[in-house]
């Protein structure tokens, strides 16, 4: 994305189209081990959608590659992951730079994006241990054992907000378990995925084992319908996820889909104030609130609400600027449309009676006057029927509610349709334990605001934040990308039953 191309983006669609047809670099496809220029005449901003022929070429290449890839040894595939993780580490800054350029988050945050994905690749290096089956000697002449087999070609569809981490939740585990993959990154920021494809090629992942295609709904429909594709991993919004889960499932595919969120943090009056306010500020406004695990909603219990002025003070101090500026705490939103939507939701809160105690709208950032910036914003006295509470805002906006008791606060969370993550801040072990037991969310933080599990566990969002029931990465991720075959074998030295035909259901002796 050269400066000239960025300027073209901010001017007009015809200029954009002209730009796409000039000598400015274009995002390529990665199919069958080659980086290919698409022949398409339809362009999504600077993104490169695939033509129907190219999509078919990707799926066919993946199906062909599966025939040999599935036969490689587990140690061979482990070695590829060891090589890939090293290359990702060596290229961390380059990938982070691409993320900041296209997505806007700060460089430090972009490095975190890469690191959390890298950890999944590192854990994939333990595949021989993770993929072991069960075995039982049923009798002296009989064994039953299980084998975890790859599914075939699997599809991946990713969102804009973690351009490295989320593709890395998908293709490394898919490939290391013996599958081949057709991955469609977000059309808003495909750059990081393209670098990862280059590194996968360098690591010796063979042609056709990983394929990257671009585009939006048409490409998604292709993935949902293609006969070779046996399973789909999706991460993104409710609307797209519900659609993909429904369409993919209807076509007999296994679908895991992580959707939107509205994560609540409960602040107890006995919490460590300094720790709580620091954590809350980072978790609500970091990455401009564009994290599915952002702590976007806070419930102050009792006197904890008295800390609000100090929270406002800390939020005000955050520096909003281009992600490339060394002192930036948060960058811009992904698009002008997103900015308008976030501003509208803030306004709806005001109209419905909430108090806007910090208003980040209309922020102009020096040197970047045309950026999609909005500063940290805080709405208080919010009620659960307000639109700003019901909708996932996905911007640097903290919505605050009050409760008199822990029970009341838990009840608010459990009545919210989403179940991605939640957190409590308290110094009481008994309070924390009650919260962990009674709260109905998939990922619980205790004095930890964004409890995204490390890759030896799984990402366990629940209720409205997930469709399908097999989670991403960890043991669950291995289960998603494999099916279990159970073998029951009888081996006898002397055939005692040589002349007896077994016509009944076998019974245990
Ligand atoms: P999005 O749904 O707009 O896009 C995600 C993917 O779906 C993209 O590849 C896009 O091309 C495709 N897509 C978009 N609209 C579609 C449609 N109508 N039909 C078919 N495909 C479509 O999501 P986004 O804006 O890129 O990402 C932000 C959302 O993702 C937020 O809701 C956030 O909470 C969610 N998210 C969830 C998790 C999680 O693990 N729960 C993680 C990250 C992001």
Tokens representing 67 are 């025939």
453-464 exposure pattern, b = at least 16 Cβ within 10 A, e = fewer? bebeebbbbbeb
Q: Is the pLDDT of residue 2 over 70?
A: no
Eight-class DSSP state of 205: P
Model pLDDT for residues 376-386, shown as the tens digit of each residue: 999 999 999 99
Q: Is the pLDDT of residue 39 over 70?
A: yes
Q: Separation of 237 CA from ligand 1 center, angstroms?
A: 4
Decide if the complex's ipTM is over 0.90.
yes
In whole angstroms, give the CA distance from residue 415 to residue 4.
Answer: 49
Task: Check if 189 has its Cβ closer than 6 Å to any atom of ligand 1.
Answer: no
Q: Tell me the H-state helices in 331-428.
A: 336-351, 387-390, 406-415
Tokens representing 226 are 């293609």
From the CA of 461, give the closest atom in ligand 1.
Answer: 41
Per-residue pLDDT at 10: 38
Model pLDDT for residues 265-305, shown as the tens digit of each residue: 999 999 999 999 999 999 999 999 999 999 999 999 999 99
Q: How confident is the model at residue 508 (pLDDT cuts 50, 70, 90)?
A: low
- Looking at the chain, the whole-number percentage of residues with pLDDT higher than 90 is 87
Mean pLDDT (the chain) is 92
Q: Is the pLDDT of residue 47 over 60?
A: no
Helix 308-316 to helix 273-285 angle (10° resolution) is 50
Residues 182 and 58 sit within 8 Å (Cβ to Cβ): yes
Span 79-91, mean pLDDT?
Answer: 98
Task: Check if 258 has its Cβ closer than 6 Å to any atom of ligand 1.
Answer: yes
Q: Is the pLDDT of residue 17 over 90?
A: no
- What lies within 8 Å, CB to CB, of 92 at 6+ separation is 111, 114, 115, 118
Q: Which residue's alpha carbon is at the smallest distance from atom 26 of ligand 1?
A: 159
Measuring CA to CA, how many Å separate 49 from each of 34, 162, 219, 225, 470?
16, 20, 8, 17, 30
Model pLDDT for residues 453-504, shown as the tens digit of each residue: 999 999 999 999 999 999 999 999 999 999 999 999 999 877 666 555 566 6
Q: How confident is the model at residue 4 (pLDDT cuts 50, 70, 90)?
A: very low
Per-residue pLDDT at 19: 44
Q: Is the pLDDT of residue 120 over 90?
A: yes
Q: Separation of 239 CA from ligand 1 center, angstroms?
A: 8
310-313 — which CB contacts under 8 Å span 24+ positions? 310/273, 310/277, 311/277, 311/280, 311/281, 311/378, 311/398, 312/357, 312/358, 312/378
Model pLDDT for residues 149-184, shown as the tens digit of each residue: 999 999 999 999 999 999 999 999 999 999 999 999
Measuring CA to CA, how many Å separate 407 from each of 137, 266, 376, 414?
50, 11, 29, 10
Pocket mutation for ligand 1, best pick of 157, 236, 452 (most atoms within 8 Å of C-beta): 236
Catalytic site residue 292?
yes
Q: Which residue's alpha carbon is at the smallest distance from atom 6 of ligand 1?
A: 159
For 468: left if phi > 0, alpha if psi spans -120 to 50, otherwise beta; the answer is left
Per-residue pLDDT at 8: 35
Least confident of 5-9, 134-138, 151-155, 215-219: 5-9
Q: Residue by residue, what is the 3-state secondary structure of 274-339?
A: HHHHHHHHHHHHHHHHCCCCCCCEEEEEHHHHHHHHHHHHHHHCCCECCCCCCCCCECCCCCHHHH
Span 72-95, mean pLDDT?
Answer: 98
């Amino acid at each position: 994305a050269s400066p000239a191309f960025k300027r073209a983006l901010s001017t007009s669609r015809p200029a954009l189209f002209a730009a796409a047809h000039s000598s400015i670099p274009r995002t390529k496809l990665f199919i069958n081990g080659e980086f290919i220029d698409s022949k398409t005449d339809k362009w999504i901003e600077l993104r490169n959608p695939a033509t129907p022929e190219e999509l078919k070429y990707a799926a066919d290449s993946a199906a062909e590659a599966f025939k040999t890839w599935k036969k490689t040894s587990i140690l061979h595939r482990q070695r590829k992951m060891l090589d890939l993780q090293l290359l990702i580490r060596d290229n961390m800054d380059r990938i982070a730079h691409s993320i900041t350029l296209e997505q806007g988050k700060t460089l430090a945050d972009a490095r975190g994006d890469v690191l959390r994905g890298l950890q999944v690749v590192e854990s994939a290096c333990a595949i021989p241990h993770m993929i072991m089956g069960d075995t039982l000697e049923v009798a002296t002449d009989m064994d039953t054992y299980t084998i975890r087999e790859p599914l075939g070609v699997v599809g991946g569809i990713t969102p804009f907000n973690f351009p490295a981490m989320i593709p890395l939740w998908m293709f490394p585990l898919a490939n290391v378990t013996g599958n081949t993959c057709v991955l469609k990154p977000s059309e808003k920021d495909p750059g990081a995925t393209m670098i990862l494809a280059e590194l996968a090629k360098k690591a010796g992942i063979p042609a056709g084992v990983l394929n990257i295609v671009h585009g939006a709904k048409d490409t998604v429909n292709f993935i949902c319908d293609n006969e070779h594709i046996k399973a789909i991993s999706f991460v993104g919004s409710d609307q797209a996820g519900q659609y993909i889960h429904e369409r993919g499932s209807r076509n007999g595919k296994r679908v895991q889909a992580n959707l939107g969120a509205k994560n609540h943090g409960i602040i107890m009056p006995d919490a460590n104030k300094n720790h709580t306010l620091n954590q809350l500020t980072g978790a609500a406004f970091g990455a401009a609130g564009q994290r599915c695990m952002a702590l976007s909603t806070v419930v102050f219990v009792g006197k904890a609400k008295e800390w609000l002025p100090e929270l406002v003070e800390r939020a005000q101090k955050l520096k909003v600027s281009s992600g490339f500026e060394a002192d930036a705490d948060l960058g811009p939103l992904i698009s002008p449309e997103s900015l308008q939507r976030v501003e509208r939701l803030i306004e709806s809160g005001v109209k419905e009676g909430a108090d806007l105690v910090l208003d980040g709208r209309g922020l102009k950032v020096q040197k970047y006057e045309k950026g999609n910036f909005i500063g940290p914003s805080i709405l208080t006295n919010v009620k659960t029927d307000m639109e700003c509470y019901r909708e996932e805002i996905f911007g640097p906006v903290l919505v605050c509610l009050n409760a008199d008791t822990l029970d009341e606060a838990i009840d608010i969370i459990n009545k919210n349709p989403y179940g991605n993550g939640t957190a409590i801040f308290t110094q009481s072990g008994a309070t924390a334990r009650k919260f962990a037991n009674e709260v109905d969310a998939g990922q619980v933080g205790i004095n930890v605001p964004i409890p995204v599990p490390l890759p030896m566990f799984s990402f366990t969002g629940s209720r409205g934040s997930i469709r399908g029931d097999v989670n991403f990465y960890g043991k669950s991720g291995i289960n998603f990308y494999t099916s279990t075959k159970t073998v029951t074998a009888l081996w006898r030295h002397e055939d005692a039953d040589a002349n007896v035909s077994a016509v009944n259901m076998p019974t245990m002796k």
